[in-house]
Structure 1
Amino acid sequence: MAERKYGEPAPETHTTIRSADWDSEDLSGQNHERVAFVNVDMTEASSRGAVFHECTFSGVRFNASVHSDTAFTNCTFKRCSFFDAAFTGCKFVGSVFDDCSFDLLKVEGGDWSFVGLPGADLHSASFRDVRMREADLTGARGAGVTLRGVDLSGASLHSADLSRGDLRGSDLSSLDPRVVKLKDAVIDIPQAVTIATLLGLQVRSD
């Protein structure tokens, strides 16, 4: 079970929405706080500027949904499916994901700092220009993942598999190359210098 930073418990919910059919619904502008969404179908739903704060999503299908400038702050996601979902400029600060699937997930911009994704299968997911400061990616299965221009400063990456991933432009200062799988990953020259330095090597131009 994924845990929040410092072991804080998940927020208690006050209302429940169960087995609702929100397929293709426009959720723009909606505001939900401490709501439990159970087995809700949000396939191909869309949102812009919606707010979900301290909500719990259990068995929710976000498949092929599209979200822009929407906040999912300090939320809990359990056994949710994000197949081909797209999040642009969204905020997931403090949210935790447990036993979710992320096939073909696309994230562009936004703030995912302090998220909990330990052990997550991210092999076909794409994160571009996203803030993921102090995110928990311990043991993440990200062979083939795209992490382009991602701020991973302070992130927990112990035992993560980033082999064959595209990591160019991302902050890898918190990465320990001795405990992260990086075989065939694509990096840029500044990142190569960072990794060499983390390994205790001296990089010289002469």
Structure 2
Amino acid sequence: MAERLHGVPRPETVTTVSHEDWDVEDLSGQRHEHVAFDDVSMIEAVSTGAVFYECTFRNVRFNASEHNDTAFLNCTFKRCSFFDAAFTGCKVVGSMFDGCTFDLLKVTGGDWSLVSLRGAPLGSATFTGVRMREADLSGVRGEGATFRDVDLGGALLHGADLTGADLRGSDLSSLDPLAARLKGAKIDTLQATVIASALGFEVLPS
């Protein structure tokens, strides 16, 4: 089971939205604070500039939804589905994902720092140009996932399976290559130098 970083407890909610159909809804500009969303369908919903603050999403279907410059701050996602969902320029700082599925998820830009994705199945997800500093990615199942130009400074990657993942351009300074599965992962020459140094090699010019 995923946990919040540093053992921070889940924020309490004060209102509940349950068993509602928000499919194809335009949530742009809406603000929700301390709301529990239980078994809500948000399939193909869209949002621009919306704010969800310390909300809890349980069994929410975000499939094929599109979110632009929307904030999900310190939220909790339990058993949610993100099939083919797209997040562009969104802030998801401090949020936790537990038991969710991420098939074909596309994340472009934005700030996902301090998120907990511990043990998450990210195999077909794509993260591009995202800030993920100090994120908990320990034990993620990222076989074949894409992390291009991602800021992973200080991220927890112990036990991550990144077999065949595309990691080019990302900050791998916190990666212990002996504590993760990296066979077939794609990296660039600068990253190769960083990993070689982490393994104790002295990298010299030819």
TM-score norm. by structure 2 comes to 0.99
| Cα-to-partner distance string for 1:141-184 (whole Å, 9 max, x where unaligned) | 00100000000000000000011000000000000000111100
| Cα-to-partner distance string for 1:122-151 (whole Å, 9 max, x where unaligned) | 000000000000000010000100000000
Distance in structure 2 (CA, Å) of the matches to 1:149 and 1:100: 24
Task: Return the offset for 1:6.
Answer: 1.3
Distance in structure 1 (CA, Å) of the matches to 2:65 and 2:179: 35
**SS class of match (1:77):** strand
Structure 2 match to 1:184: 184
Distance in structure 1 (CA, Å) of the matches to 2:3 and 2:202: 38
Structure 1 match to 2:132: 132
Task: Return the offset for 1:2.
Answer: 1.4
Structure 2 match to 1:112: 112
Distance in structure 2 (CA, Å) of the matches to 1:70 and 1:99: 22
| Cα-to-partner distance string for 1:24-77 (whole Å, 9 max, x where unaligned) | 000000000000000000000000000000000000000000000000000000
Distance in structure 2 (CA, Å) of the matches to 1:188 and 1:6: 32
Structure 2 match to 1:41: 41
Task: Return the offset for 1:87.
Answer: 0.2
Matched AA of 2:203: V
Q: RMSD value over aligned CA atoms?
A: 0.4
Structure 2 match to 1:24: 24
Matched AA of 1:173: S
Structure 2 match to 1:99: 99
TM-score norm. by structure 1 comes to 0.99
Distance in structure 2 (CA, Å) of the matches to 1:205 and 1:7: 44
Distance in structure 2 (CA, Å) of the matches to 1:118 and 1:98: 8
Matched AA of 1:77: F
Matched AA of 1:71: A
Structure 2 match to 1:197: 197
Structure 1 match to 2:52: 52
Matched AA of 1:113: S
Distance in structure 2 (CA, Å) of the matches to 1:143 and 1:42: 27
Structure 1 segments of 4 or more deviating over 3 A?
A: none
Task: Return the offset for 1:13.
Answer: 0.1
**SS class of match (1:6):** helix
Structure 1 match to 2:89: 89
Distance in structure 1 (CA, Å) of the matches to 2:9 and 2:159: 25
Task: Return the offset for 1:17.
Answer: 0.1
Distance in structure 2 (CA, Å) of the matches to 1:168 and 1:8: 32
Distance in structure 1 (CA, Å) of the matches to 2:163 and 2:195: 15
